[in-house]
Amino acid sequence: MKQLLLFSLLFLATMSNAQMNLVKNSGFERDLINWTGQENAALSSYDKKTGRSSALINQYTGAEWRALDQTILIPKNSYAVECSAWMKTDQVESQKEDYKAAAIIIEFINAADKQISSETIGRAKNTTDWTNYKKAVKIPANAKKVRIMLALAQTNGTVFFDDVNMIALGEEEFAKLSPETK
């Protein structure tokens, strides 16, 4: 009986310390549900990192902004967020401006839905294999929400996204991260 009680307590402690992914439908297994900008993207069951599908955005002319995004409430007592996503590109055209690329971007928003700041998590051009982009960012004062954008930003080509994750971090967790992750 003591062993069962000890195991139960250990299990509960592990579960309470588990970091939950704040992104809904992060692997695009349920179509594009929970993502805004569905008209800009499609699912690919052929080119994916894991699971049944990935999201893809492509355009061949026009070099317009095309993106999927999801807005997430920041959990109370959060100090930072760590965002990661897998991205693969196919013939994404190089432009003069760096920001014109395939990109993973987060944007912090206040209670009035006004942007406070944004941070690029990853950016790629040309043709690349699946690459995991990961970055932890301190939450600015007054931020209530964070918006994650998966974009083909004013350029042409094809980009695939899969396994998008965002977790809330406390101040101690953020301090323990390596400088490469920040």
Q: 75 vs 180, which has greater pLDDT?
A: 75
Per-residue pLDDT tens over the stretch 141-160:
999 999 999 999 999 999 99
- Mean pLDDT, range 115-132, rounded to an integer: 97
Indicate the pairing of strand 54-59 with strand 126-138.
unpaired
Cα–Cα nearest to 56, from 92, 182, 48: 48
Task: With beta carbons less than 8 A apart as the criterion, state whether 102 and 119 touch.
Answer: no
Query: HEC string of 113-141?
Result: CCEEEEEEEEEECEEEEEEEEEEEEECCC
CA trace torsion 58, 147, 53, 42 (10° rounding): -30
pLDDT band at 19 (very low <50, low <70, confident <90, very high): confident
Task: With beta carbons less than 8 A apart as the criterion, state whether 28 and 53 touch.
Answer: yes
Q: Tell me the β-bridge partners of 92.
A: 126
Torsion angles phi and psi, residue 102, rounded to 5 = -75, 135
* Sole residue written with tokens 């080509």: 157
Say how far apart CA 91 and CA 64 lie, in whole Å: 16
**pLDDT at residue 179, rounded to an integer:** 74
Q: What is the pTM of this model?
A: 0.87
- Please classify residue 83 by burial: count the beta carbons closer than 10 Å to its beta carbon, then call 0-12 exposed, 13-18 middle and 19+ buried: buried
Give me the domains of the chain, ranges plus CATH numbers.
20-181 (2.60.120.260)
